[in-house]
Structure 1
Amino acid sequence: MRVFILQLAIILLASKLAGSLSVKLGQPSVLGKLLVGIVLGPSVLGLINETETLEEFSKIGVILLMFAAGLETDIDEFKRAGKASAYVGFGGMIVPFVFSYIVGIMLHFTTMQALFLGLLLSATSVSISVQALKELKQLKTREGTTILGAAVIDDVVIIVALAFLMSFTDGDVHLTTVILKKALFFIGTILVGWKVVPWFLKKVTRLNVTETLLTSALIICFVFAYFAEYTGIAAIIGAYIAGVSINITSFKNEVFKKVETISYSIFVPVFFTSIGISAQFAGITHYLDLIAILSVLAIVTKLAGSGIGAKLAGFSWHSSLGIGSAMIPCGEVALIMAAIGLDSNLLTQEMFAVIVAVIFVTTIATLPLMKLSFKSNM
């Protein structure tokens, strides 16, 4: 515990300094936080190593980040962006999937391995993009709500498609059960968010203890995140829905201010910095050509697919490129899928390391592209 406390102090100081420097250089602060993680981690200075405690802190950070995004979402704009989100979400899945499958076949993957590669590079995790959108003052815009809606669509479809693929390789996976669990999750959370959440907040805030509103909001966030994970959906989607549920109540402004204070003072900086800390580059030089090919493939196809979807939905080319850029990072969704692929022998240990490197590259590439694309909207 003593070592972890010191590591936490180092991470918080380094992330704030690096974030400030990044802003001075004209980039989102999150880029500096990601890069300083690499410097602090085993790949460079070795001051901080990935631990289970640090990983758990990081998970809480991304959950709170998406919870805050839900609290900030413009509900009316979110409803209007439904069609656009569908175009962006499906465009950002179909194009990467098709081209990744073709490249997989060209690299002499088996059909199942090529299909799995297609799903991997179709995944989207916008936790990084959310922070960049926030800094660029785009989170509450039509573009921001379209991105968030598309990410939810992407997550659900990719997970169902993965279950379908795994049903051919693992007899324990039942596609009907998987789809049913996800349907029940969304139906259940919508009903609970609509009817139960407002009632729960009113009841708990009457208790004669301190910070009852914040505590009750966090309970809702973590319960939604838990059931999302339990049904095979990313915890960040559950946290985002929890935020939207509170957003429609009269408590949203007060909850957001308190959650933002807690999140950005400790948990969110740890999340961003830990991504860089977890990057492992030992022995990766033997696969630089493959990493380059797959990274370019992931970035270009995601940018094109989501960008074209946004253009078809009526956005300008600048906004379409910004939306496409925000959909690029594969993040923890792809990491979870890669671990499943490794366990199911759809990925070798070497290919798993390559995929992890590609995921990190997509994360780093997203931020400058978003800054460049959204500049004209600022």
Structure 2
Amino acid sequence: MAFLGILCLILLTTLLAGHFSRKLGVPAVIGQLLVGIVLGPAILGWIQPSSFIHDFSEIGVILLMFMAGLESDIGLLKRYLRPGILVAMVGVVLPLGLVTLVSLWFHFSLLLAVFMGVIFTATSVSISVEVLRELNILDSKEGTTILAAAVVDDVLSVIILSVFVSISGENTGGNTPSLLIGFVEQILYFIGIYFVVKWIAPFLMHLSQRFLLGAAATIMSLVICLSMAYLADLIGLSAVVGSFFAGIAVGQTPYKAEIDHNMEPIGYAVFIPVFFVSIGLEMNFKGMSDALWFIIVLTIVATLTKLIGGGLGARLAGFDLASSYTVGAGMISRGEMALIIAQIGYEAKLIAPEYYSATIIVIVLTTLVAPFLLKHAAARQIQVQGQVKSHEN
């Protein structure tokens, strides 16, 4: 029962860290990420990555994105889908090209250099979502564009990874599934989302009222969330894509307020803090001195390529500079998506062991930087908007 002690330690320390982070005017998620670094292998070594933490963190990020979908305005998502596509496309091309060049500069093989580029095309907006929620701008045009771009970005990253692994499969000796079958499955999945939003979710939520349980509607929403996340994972998409659209589907029903009220304590009381700590646990300073310059340069390039790429995409979509900065900052975090891709590459022998730890450190560093930049961007945007309003008056 040692996991009970670990869970108790995580919950207590994240509660304190979140409290003091807020007091210092820093997003609470930063304190929770630092808990993972301090208590994990990097410093104290009290908590080690384990299957228990992995499973809890998976549920945490699924619930976090479900709540983001629940709070999303589907009308705004449709309206800002085009900007989202532009943000995602530019935000994928720029890191893919520049991270590859940087890796070649550090004498990586061409195959490994390109794979490093593939790793840093990924975006994980789960942490950005938390910061946007904290700042009450999740349902703004910038927050909606970030969410739309994240879905497109995830699909693009999966496609690029599938193509890359398929092409390099003969070098690694791995068997890869047919790309065509994978693409067809993913297209069918997105077609299925329409039916879930339009008919299946409303029917299931209405059906839940026939059960003689007070929490029936909440349980049914979890069934929808977890099943869509599972199916997304089954066909090669990220589970968070499924949970996000499940949130949108449930959010279109009359039970939205009830689910939102009941789901928040479930997520934030247990699972979501474990998710944020799990990212910090990936940090390990072993061998960091040998690859220090690589880590510094790659962290800067990985941060700037998403910031500039996402911001440029927003500018091309007609956003002003302040809004573009916010969108770009919201796309920086690599989080669990990049960690998953790096792990796939490591298992397929696409990334050498001596570079794996350094890559994980860069992923964690970009994830740590993201909330600070996003908060600065949001504050800057509010300031600019205030100046415009006072100018108009």
Same fold (TM over 0.5): yes
Residues 197 and 252, structure 2, Cα contact 8 Å, conserved in 1: no
Indicate whether 1:361 and 2:340 are aligned. Answer: no
Question: Cα distance, 1:109 vs. partner?
Answer: 2.6
Question: Residue 259 of structure 1 corresponds to which residue in structure 2?
Answer: 263
Q: Deviations over 1:35-83 (max 9, x none)?
A: 1221122222222222211211111111100000000001221111111
After the TM superposition, which of the residue ranges 240-249 and 316-325 deviates more from structure 2? 316-325
Question: Residue 30 of structure 2 corresponds to which residue in structure 1?
Answer: 31
Residues 291 and 357, structure 1, Cα contact 8 Å, conserved in 2: yes
Question: Cα distance, 1:105 vs. partner?
Answer: 2.6
Indicate whether 1:75 and 2:79 are aligned. Answer: no
Indicate whether 1:66 and 2:65 are aligned. Answer: yes
C-alpha distance in 2 between matches for 1:142 and 1:250: 24
Indicate whether 1:189 and 2:157 are aligned. Answer: no
Residues 282 and 361, structure 2, Cα contact 8 Å, conserved in 1: no
Equivalent positions of 1:231-250 (< 5 A) are 231-250=235-254
Question: Residue 389 of structure 2 corresponds to which residue in structure 1?
Answer: none
SS at match of 1:167: helix
Question: Cα distance, 1:166 vs. partner?
Answer: 1.4
Question: Cα distance, 1:102 vs. partner?
Answer: 1.9
**Residue 317 (structure 1) aligned to one of 317, 321, 324:** 321
- In structure 1, what residue type is equivalent to 2:217? L
C-alpha distance in 2 between matches for 1:277 and 1:353: 12
Equivalent positions of 1:277-356 (< 5 A) are 277-356=281-360
Indicate whether 1:224 and 2:228 are aligned. Answer: yes
Question: Residue 134 of structure 1 corresponds to which residue in structure 2?
Answer: 133
Question: Cα distance, 1:126 vs. partner?
Answer: 0.6
After the TM superposition, which of the residue ranges 232-241 and 330-339 deviates more from structure 2? 330-339
Question: Cα distance, 1:371 vs. partner?
Answer: 1.0
Question: Cα distance, 1:97 vs. partner?
Answer: 1.1
C-alpha distance in 2 between matches for 1:272 and 1:79: 30
In structure 1, runs of 5+ residues without a counterpart are none
C-alpha distance in 2 between matches for 1:243 and 1:7: 30
SS at match of 2:168: coil
SS at match of 2:260: helix
| Number of equivalent positions | 377
C-alpha distance in 2 between matches for 1:155 and 1:327: 11
- In structure 2, what residue type is equivalent to 1:167? S
- In structure 1, what residue type is equivalent to 2:131? A
After the TM superposition, which of the residue ranges 108-117 and 311-320 deviates more from structure 2? 108-117
Question: Residue 198 of structure 1 corresponds to which residue in structure 2?
Answer: 202
Q: Deviations over 1:331-367 (max 9, x none)?
A: 1111111112112222001111111111001000101
Residues 160 and 178, structure 1, Cα contact 8 Å, conserved in 2: no
Equivalent positions of 1:31-180 (< 5 A) are 31-170=30-169, 172-173=175-176, 174-180=178-184
C-alpha distance in 2 between matches for 1:337 and 1:101: 15
- In structure 2, what residue type is equivalent to 1:162? L
- In structure 2, what residue type is equivalent to 1:258? N
- In structure 1, what residue type is equivalent to 2:119? L
After the TM superposition, which of the residue ranges 342-351 and 231-240 deviates more from structure 2? 342-351
- In structure 2, what residue type is equivalent to 1:203? L
Question: Cα distance, 1:215 vs. partner?
Answer: 0.3
SS at match of 1:96: helix
Question: Cα distance, 1:98 vs. partner?
Answer: 1.4
Q: Deviations over 1:153-186 (max 9, x none)?
A: 0000111111111111226322212211211211
C-alpha distance in 2 between matches for 1:230 and 1:250: 30
Query: Normalized against structure 1, the TM-score is what?
Result: 0.97
Cα RMSD after superposing both structures: 1.3
C-alpha distance in 2 between matches for 1:276 and 1:142: 30
After the TM superposition, which of the residue ranges 82-91 and 35-44 deviates more from structure 2? 35-44
C-alpha distance in 2 between matches for 1:103 and 1:278: 23
- Percent identity between matched residues is 40
Q: Deviations over 1:207-260 (max 9, x none)?
A: 112310000000000000000100100111110010001111111111111111
- In structure 2, what residue type is equivalent to 1:169? S
- In structure 2, what residue type is equivalent to 1:129? S
- In structure 1, what residue type is equivalent to 2:98? F
Residues 40 and 47, structure 1, Cα contact 8 Å, conserved in 2: yes
In structure 2, runs of 5+ residues without a counterpart are 383-393
SS at match of 1:282: coil
Residues 37 and 275, structure 1, Cα contact 8 Å, conserved in 2: yes
After the TM superposition, which of the residue ranges 65-74 and 190-199 deviates more from structure 2? 190-199
Residues 17 and 28, structure 2, Cα contact 8 Å, conserved in 1: yes
C-alpha distance in 1 between matches for 2:105 and 2:179: 29
